Chain A
């Protein structure tokens, strides 16, 4: 599972990254978590609100920090 957090350096984006990494390690999910700051990638995904969370190439949320339960849902699917 490939998890990407899209964001260009702001508190919310960093928080999302931390939260995701936390959840991944706490629940032992097999996922590669990376932070993407390249605008070209944002544009390719059609994301124009950060922070955004992309799981396996699919944009799950953009523009806000989702709740932990929501994140967990997407990670477990």
Chain B
């Protein structure tokens, strides 16, 4: 596995770069041949170095601007709500509007920053590399690796099942592949960002930790139960015979910083543009609930005392699907009205982790018993986490 270290490579190979900064008179005079290419230009001030400085500089400026806006959101929202609009502090409408004006830009800002950052990180990982890393990995280490890689490997969610196939045909053990399959959708950066923005870093960290844990357990259980026999026959044929096609290698693109930044920008465009309506509506609903619904309204059916609420919430959530951004405002609304944390978070995990469409596609690859075990373990895992959160938080 070769992850190129771009800065070093470009800096060292100044030969071709420095040509642009050589004084014209010296070109072709043989000075190069005698003293080497570097002799005729300033040692480190190459084009690539300069562009890196530009990146760092503009990055710093943007970050500072971001921080400035972010830090002043509270005052900004109060300003608009109570000074520019004819609303009074302490009224239902006032609370609602202030909440809305505060939360929407806050969440969007957070999303933009984190999605960009994660995009850059993900540009270093490709499914191809992940596949190579995991191929032939041993069980326990493989599960941990797979769960972690699931978080950072970029892929379109429609590729989930093809990827599953790809891993198997590359020799990745079944349980390890499942760890990846569970962690990837659940522990996604949008969910983490929103959780962080709305509930603080402890909740986000807990979510990530337990998500990874569930991924590990699922993979581990499936490995232990030796469920390879429960793959559909045609899959078994493919994985055992390893035909030529499974060795297909798409050329690993070499990315330089321009590409990586572009990758990050593309990720922001794709995700934020897709998600902002959900976020806005979700927050609007949350704002309304925040301002108008009395506290503890939900404490009865979803509160800590309702012990049966956790399994019910999870079982309802599993067949459903929403992307993280859509479900989190719902989470917030439920929470603010007395629902227990564990119950709501378990619901959220259940919705994001698996869905009916995905299960249907998986059926083409897995025999019913394996699908059953998969869904069963994830369900039990999430229920467990739900109870845990209810106790801890």
Contacts and interface: CB of A to CB of B under 8 A. Distances in A.
Interface of A: 7-10, 12-13, 39-40, 42-51, 59, 61-63
Nearest to B234: A40
Contact of A43 (B127, B156, B238, B250): B238
Nearest to A61: B250
A35 to B, nearest CB: 13
B162 A8 contact: yes
Contacts of A61: 250
Interface stretch (B19-27, B241-249, B343-351): B241-249
B169 interface: yes
B127 A63 contact: yes
Contact of A49 (B166, B235, B357): B166
B155 A9 contact: no
A44 B245 contact: yes
Interface string B344-362: 0000000000000100010
Contacts of A50: 156, 158-159, 162
Contacts of A63: 127, 155-156, 159, 250
7 smallest beta-carbon distances between A and B, as pairs: A48-B166, A46-B248, A10-B158, A46-B245, A48-B162, A50-B159, A49-B159
Overall SS of chain B's interface: helix
Contacts, number: 73
Interface in B157-196: 157-159, 161-163, 165-167, 169
Given A8-B361, A39-B165, A45 B245 contact: yes
B218 to A, nearest CB: 20
A36 to B, nearest CB: 11
B238 A8 contact: no
Nearest to B131: A48
A40 B15 CA distance: 49
A20 B238 CA distance: 30
B364 interface: yes
A48 B177 CA distance: 13
B158 A7 contact: yes
Contacts of A12: 156, 158
B365 interface: yes
Contacts of B165: 39, 42-43, 48
Contacts of A46: 169, 244-248
Contacts of B364: 39
Contact of B163 (A10, A48, A51): A48
B197 to A, nearest CB: 26
Interface centre among A10, A45, A48 (most CB of B within 10 A): A48
Nearest to A44: B245
B161 A62 contact: no
Nearest to A7: B158
A10 B162 CA distance: 13
Contacts of A7: 158
Contacts of A49: 127, 155-156, 159, 162-163, 166, 250
Contacts of B167: 48
Given A12-B156, A45-B245, A49-B162, 4 more contacts: A10-B156, A43-B234, A48-B131, A50-B156
Contacts of A42: 162, 165
A43 B365 CA distance: 11
Interface centre among A8, A43, A44 (most CB of B within 10 A): A43
Nearest to B266: A64
A8 B362 CA distance: 12
Contacts of A62: 250
A65 to B, nearest CB: 9
B161 A39 contact: yes
B104 to A, nearest CB: 24
B158 A47 contact: no
Interface string B124-152: 00010001000000000000000000000
A75 B247 CA distance: 25
A7 B159 CA distance: 8
19 contacts: A10-B156, A12-B158, A13-B158, A39-B361, A42-B165, A43-B169, A43-B234, A43-B246, A44-B245, A45-B248, A46-B247, A47-B166, A47-B248, A48-B166, A49-B163, A50-B156, A50-B162, A59-B248, A62-B250
